[in-house]
A = this chain, B = another copy of it.
């Protein structure tokens, strides 16, 4: 949905670089700034400010903000402005649950439609990921993990699953970055089992394995939360809300 698909082309043919609409660039710039924390959660976003910051007029900013609102990155309050979304307590859990459903179904369909090349690629990713993990390269392992999951989702051949999963995945990563590296050990063993099931064309097993895999991740999230925030302190620690000043 969110992508402007280029459609299928006769293999190797690439259209010339067409300048993206500004609203698109603005959208990307803003998501990036939100994900990397430049725009902190809860921050008040003012159209003219962003426009000045990005060197464009209000119009493209408005359009980008509305899309961000529709996709849950910011909350639009009429007459006041946009706030960077602050995830609710149960939101991550719900995202992970949705992801479990989407990826599990993807795995099922991947098992159904897998080609020889797909399987080779899967095994390769699995091997690379395990190697990264064993050599202690957490970043590499995390990246490969993402690639593996994305590839399986794409293997489903279902553009809606692909699209939904991509949205959910991005949100999950934003909300809870430390989640990714936490369980390298068991994770890659599970990946192997998953790839095996897909190779065998065993749809039910693939779906089941993926479900368990994502459920483990969800459990890991809750465990991590429990340890790192033993007492729920709603009090703001310090920083008496210095009214955000422009950030040239």
Question: Interface of A with B (CB < 8 Å)?
Answer: 1-2, 4, 18, 21, 23, 62-63, 66-67, 69-72, 76, 78, 94-95, 97-98, 100-102, 104-105, 109, 157-161, 164, 167-168
Q: Is the CB of B102 within 8 A of A4?
A: no
Contacts of A94 in B (CB 8 A): 157-161
Q: In whole angstroms, what is the CA distance A1 to B2 when docked?
A: 13
Tell whether, in the assembled complex, residue A160 and residue B95 are in contact, meaning their CB atoms are under 8 Å apart: yes
Whole-angstrom distance from the CB of A96 to the nearest CB of chain B? 10
For A95, what are the chain B residues with a Cβ–Cβ distance below 8 Å? Answer: 160
Residues of B within 8 A of A67 (CB): 66-67, 70
Specify the chain B residue showing the minimal Cβ separation from A109. Answer: B97
Rounded to whole angstroms, the CA-CA distance of A98 and B104 in the bound complex is: 11
Q: A101: which B residues are within 8 A, CB to CB?
A: 101-102, 104-105, 161
**A236: shortest Cβ distance to chain B, in Å?**
21
Considering the chains assembled together, what is the distance between the CA atoms of A72 and B104 in angstroms? 24
| List of B residues within 8 angstroms of A164 by Cβ | 98, 164
Out of B70, B78, B102, name the residue touching A1 (CB < 8 Å): B70
Q: Contacts A63-B62, A63-B63, A66-B67 known; A161 to B98 CB distance under 8 Å?
A: yes
Residues of B within 8 Å of A4, CB to CB, are 69, 76
13 contacts between A and B (CB under 8 A): A1-B71, A1-B167, A2-B70, A4-B69, A66-B66, A70-B71, A94-B158, A97-B105, A97-B109, A98-B105, A98-B160, A101-B105, A160-B168
A78 touches B21 (CB 8 A): yes
In the complex, chain B residues whose CB is within 8 Å of the CB of A167: 1
With a 10 A CB-CB cut-off, give which of A66, A98, A109 has the most chain B CB atoms.
A98
Interfacial chain B residues near A23, Cβ < 8 Å = 66
Task: Report the nearest B residue to A94, measured CB to CB.
Answer: B158
Assembled-state Cα–Cα distance A141/B66 (Å) = 37
Contact B158 A98, beta carbon cutoff 8 Å:
yes
Contact: A97 with B158, CB < 8 Å?
yes
Complex Cα distance A100/B98, Å?
13
Residue of chain B at shortest CB distance from A93: B158
